[in-house]
C-alpha cells in the first residue's frame, strides 16, 4: 500500500466513523430542533435536518429535484477529488491530507442524503441572535480541507502541485 493510500484510507476511516457516530448519537438522544447550550451566547448542540446543500441552499426546492441533484453533485465532487488525489505524488502529504478531509466529509454527508434524504447537522455557533448555519463534523472536515488546499496552492506560487516534479531535482535559474 502506498503512502498516499495509507494517508487517504486512514483519514477516511477516522472522518467517516467520527461523523457517522456523532450524527447517530445526536439522532438517538435529542429530539429534532432541540438545543443544548454548551457555551452561553456562543455554541450549542442543536439537532436539525438540512434538506439543502451548504447553508441550506436549495432547501426550498422540490425533493424530486433536490435529492437527485445533490446526490449527483456529491458523486461528481467525490469523483473529482479522487481524480486529483490520483494525480498527486506521494510526497505531497499535506495536499493528500487536505483532499482526504474533503473526500471524507463529502462521503459522510452523501451517506446521510442516501439514508435520510437530508443531512443531520448539530453544531450551532452563534453570537447573541446572529447564528452561523448549523453544521456537522463532515462539513468541518470539508472546510478545513479546503483551507489547507488553498494554503498549499498559494504556497506553490503558480506551480501545479498535481504535476510538478520534485523541486530539489530541478536546476534553479
Residue among 103, 147, 135, 142 nearest 12 (CA): 103
The span from the CA of 149 to the CA of 145, in Å, is: 6
167 touches 155 (CB < 8 A)? no
Considering 19, 112, 121, 124, which one is annotated as catalytic? 121
Coil, strand, or helix at residue 150? helix
Active-site residue flag, 121? yes
Active-site residue, selected from the candidate residues 19, 112, 124, 139: 139
Q: 30: Cβ–Cβ under 8 A, 6 or more apart, which residues?
A: 36, 45, 47, 122
Give the active site residues. Answer: 121, 139
Amino acid at each position: 500500500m502506498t503512502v498516499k493510500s495509507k494517508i487517504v484510507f486512514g483519514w477516511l476511516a477516522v472522518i467517516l466513523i467520527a461523523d457517522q457516530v456523532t450524527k447517530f448519537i445526536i439522532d438517538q438522544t435529542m429530539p429534532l430542533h432541540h438545543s443544548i447550550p454548551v457555551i452561553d451566547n456562543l455554541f450549542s448542540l442543536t439537532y436539525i435536518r438540512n434538506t439543502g446543500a451548504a447553508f441550506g441552499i436549495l432547501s426550498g426546492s422540490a425533493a424530486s429535484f433536490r435529492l437527485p441533484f445533490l446526490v449527483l453533485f456529491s458523486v461528481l465532487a467525490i469523483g473529482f477529488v479522487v481524480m486529483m488525489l490520483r494525480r498527486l505524488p506521494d510526497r505531497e502529504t499535506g495536499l493528500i491530507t487536505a483532499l482526504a478531509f474533503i473526500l471524507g466529509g463529502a462521503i459522510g454527508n452523501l451517506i446521510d442524503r442516501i439514508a435520510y434524504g437530508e443531512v443531520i447537522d448539530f453544531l450551532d455557533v452563534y453570537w447573541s441572535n446572529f447564528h452561523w448555519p448549523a453544521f456537522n463534523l463532515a462539513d468541518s472536515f470539508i472546510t478545513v480541507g479546503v483551507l489547507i488546499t488553498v494554503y498549499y496552492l498559494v504556497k506553490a506560487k503558480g506551480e501545479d502541485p498535481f504535476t510538478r516534479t520534485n523541486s530539489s531535482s530541478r536546476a534553479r535559474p
